[in-house]
Structures are given as C-alpha cells and as structure tokens.
Structure 1
Amino acid sequence: MGGRGGDEGGVREALRYGIVREVEGLAPPLRQRALFEQARCDLILQEGPPTPEAQRRLGRLLAGLKAGDEVIVQSLDAFQRSTGELAQLIRTFLEVGVVLRIVEGPDESETLPPAENVRRVLALLAEHEARRPSRSPAGAASRANSGSRKPLSKYQIEYARKLHREGTSLRSLSLLFQVSPNEVWEAIGD
C-alpha cells in the first residue's frame, strides 16, 4: 500500500479504499483485489459472504471517510444495500466530498466525483435495481414472485373478505397482509 495516507502536520491525506466483497454477480475476490491493487488502493477491505458484522464493519469504514477520499468497488452490488440505502450513501459521499469509482475491468472505470451530475447517479441506481433478482420490474404481476407459496391462508382470506364487506379498501388489506392489492383481490374476489 502506498504512502498517501501520511499524517504530516495533523492533516490526513486523502485515501483510496477498495472494497472486495464475495457476492453473487461480482468477479471472484482475487480478481477484485487485483483490480484494486492495479488502481493503487491504500487500503483494501475484503469480506467473505455478507454477514451483519461485515456490514457493520463496512458501515464504520464508510462513516469515517473524509473529503478527497476515494472508494473503489467493482459494482454497486459490493455495498449490499437496497437502492434507497445506496441513494443515501451516494448522497453522503457527494456531500462529504468522497469520490466513488466503479472499476469493472482494467480499462473500464466509472468515476463519480462530488461535482458529477446527479442524473448519472440515478442511472447507476436504476441499473443496480434492475440487476437485483429479488425485485420484479414495476408493474409486473406480483404472482411472478410468489412461486408456489399461497399468498394468504384460508383464515386470512375469510378475515379479508369480512373486512372488505365492512368497507376496508384493498390497499389497506394488502398492507395488513403484506401482499399486493391484486393478490388480495385474487384471493377474496367473488
């Protein structure tokens, strides 16, 4: 690791952090590490499969970043956060003055310096959301995600019918049973 992290005169120089994660969709950890070493990272944080403790360690590292620091990942997937959490993290980076760099290969790099246009951030977040296998595209039938699971038990269906006859909206029922309004209607529809 380079000597960029010196602390002469009480002022810490900016550091370059690489985050290696063992996550589906990313290159193997050795390949990620090689990319970050080639990018001359001062500190490479490498974690195995995501665990709550690994997420806490990463959170502590990210909370201590200073203006001018650079975070390098192979993909936004390395953060193991929801799209909303990513939006908040990137916003914090931009506010603090941290540069985010996504290095997909030796000659493939995307850099988001603090002054970068927000539209590019939104495009990256949208791409991240599209790659998440647990999410269905907007407007897709929720039945596609339900698999073989029955959305509501027979007791829930009876109770939902009773509440609906008493005037409870499909939206309220969907919130109560944690399913989509369409699933409620399919279950109780007469």
Structure 2
Amino acid sequence: MRYGYARVSTDEQSLARQRSALALVGCDQVVEEVESGVKARRRLDGLLERLHDGDELIVSELDRLGRSTGEAVLLMDELIKRGVQLRVLALPSSTSRRTTVG
C-alpha cells in the first residue's frame, strides 16, 4: 500500500502543495499533521506503526520526516529493515530528481 505523509508546523501554513504532490503519485492513504517537528508527531508515529513489508511511504521532502538529518537517516534505516520503501519526491539539492530508498 502507498501511504503519503504531509506535515506543516503551524496552523498558518498550508498543506496544499504537499497534498497535490502526494495525490499526483497516487497515494492510497495520506496522513496529515499540523505539528512542529520538535514536538511529538502522533500521526506520523501511528502511521509508522502500521507500515508493513512491501508498503511504501511517500513524502514531498525529507525534512517532513525528521527533526534533523540524523533522525531522518535512522528512520530510513528502520524502514529498510522492515521492508518498507521510502520515496522522497523532492530533495534539497535538486528540483527534478526523485529518490527511492529500500
């Protein structure tokens, strides 16, 4: 199953761009969260618990997943070990590349 995850930090920010990007790649389900990356991300944690071998987690940008690069790398490692693919639609150094991990 393809899961999308979208997050903004405040109510004043919009999820529209992330929603559009996730819709374009055909996510079966999208989990949205309005929460600072510094605070607990309950919806992301719940989604991570549901992911199984063969599932795909899609985010618009890598920084939606972790508070830091190190945290994102640890999460990627965990997903790989569980057989979950991670797809990041846009990387900071590129506007057109897509990366799949796992």
TM bucket by the smaller chain? 0.7 to 0.9
Q: Residue 100 of structure 2 corresponds to which residue in structure 1?
A: 112
In the superposition, the TM-score normalised over structure 2's length comes to 0.77
Compared CA separation, residues 109 and 17, structure 1 to 2 (3 A): farther
SS in 1 for 2:21: helix
Deviation at 1:93, TM superposition (A): 1.0
CA RMSD of aligned residues (A): 2.6
Q: Residue 32 of structure 1 corresponds to which residue in structure 2?
A: 18
Q: Residue 81 of structure 1 corresponds to which residue in structure 2?
A: 67
Deviation at 1:29, TM superposition (A): 1.2
1:48 and 2:31 aligned: no
Deviation per CA, 1:47-100: give whole Å up to 9, x if none.
1232735x1221121122111111111111101322222121100111111111
Contact kept in structure 2, 1:19 and 1:44, CA below 8 Å: yes
Between Structure 1 and Structure 2, how many residues are aligned? 96
Amino acid of the structure 2 residue aligned with 1:92:
E
Any residues of structure 2 matched to 1:16-27 within 5 Å, and which? 16-23=2-9
Q: Residue 70 of structure 1 corresponds to which residue in structure 2?
A: 56
- 1 or 2, which has the higher strand percentage? 2
Contact kept in structure 1, 2:57 and 2:85, CA below 8 Å: yes
SS in 1 for 2:17: helix
Q: Residue 76 of structure 2 corresponds to which residue in structure 1?
A: 90
- 1 or 2, which has the higher helix percentage? 1
Structure 1 residues not aligned, in runs of 5+: 1-14, 115-190
SS in 1 for 2:30: strand
In the superposition, the TM-score normalised over structure 1's length comes to 0.44
Higher relative contact order (CA 8 A, sep 6+): 2
* Structure 2 Cα separation of the partners of residues 66 and 108 of structure 1: 29
* Structure 2 Cα separation of the partners of residues 96 and 49 of structure 1: 26
Structure 2 residues not aligned, in runs of 5+: none
